[in-house]
Amino acid sequence: MMKRYEMNDLGVLHYFLGIEIQQTEGGIFICQKKYGEAILKKFKMYGCKSVGTPLVVDQKLIREDGSGDVNASLFRSLVGTTRPYIMYATSLLSRFMHKPSRIHYGAAKRVLRYIQGTLDFGIMYKKNEKLQLSGFCDSDWAGSVDDMRSTSGYAFSLGSGMFSWASKKHKLWHNLQQRLNMWQLQWRHLKQYG
């Protein structure tokens, strides 16, 4: 490329767009330790007690929880992140960007406490490893308390490292009553027409 385009060789890449890159004999390790530390310092949570999960298990967040509003701009800057293992938490909390409550802010601060305990986590792309493509997906069913919509997510890895992931709240509305009504219609149809 240097013959075709004018460029300078700056050596081995160590840092790019907030991602730290460590190249070793065994492969390439990428992480966001500096980025995580900067977020924790920005919100005065550096050195806080860490937690084992980014969200409280089985906690259902709702729009109007009666806990009082917090600064929406501060909340938005706290929620934005790029770490794949907190993608679901980020996706869930981003639903409350317009009018976050104290409970939403507390949930977002819990994510920071989780980051405190996972600063050294990253993705390792191992050298000379069998490159097997794997995909994983999961979804809830009407997990959003406010509108009964479902959320699904996926992650793809090639060899030892994840390379693509996403989480999305679906636009279709799922309702238990709708499913029961559909089941009753099918049952009646089967009884009537065999």
Quick one: which of 166, 53, 167 has its CA closest to 111? 53
The per-residue pLDDT for range 152-180, each reduced to its tens digit, is: 888 888 888 888 888 888 776 555 555 65
Residue pLDDT, tens place only, 92-110? 888 888 889 999 999 999 9
Question: What's the confidence (pLDDT) of residue 157?
Answer: 87
Q: How far is CA 42 from the centre of its chain?
A: 20
pTM of the model: 0.72
pLDDT, tens digit, 9 for 90 and up, residues 12-30: 899 988 889 999 999 999 9
3-state DSSP assignment of residue 30: strand
Partnered with residue 138 across adjacent β-strands are 153
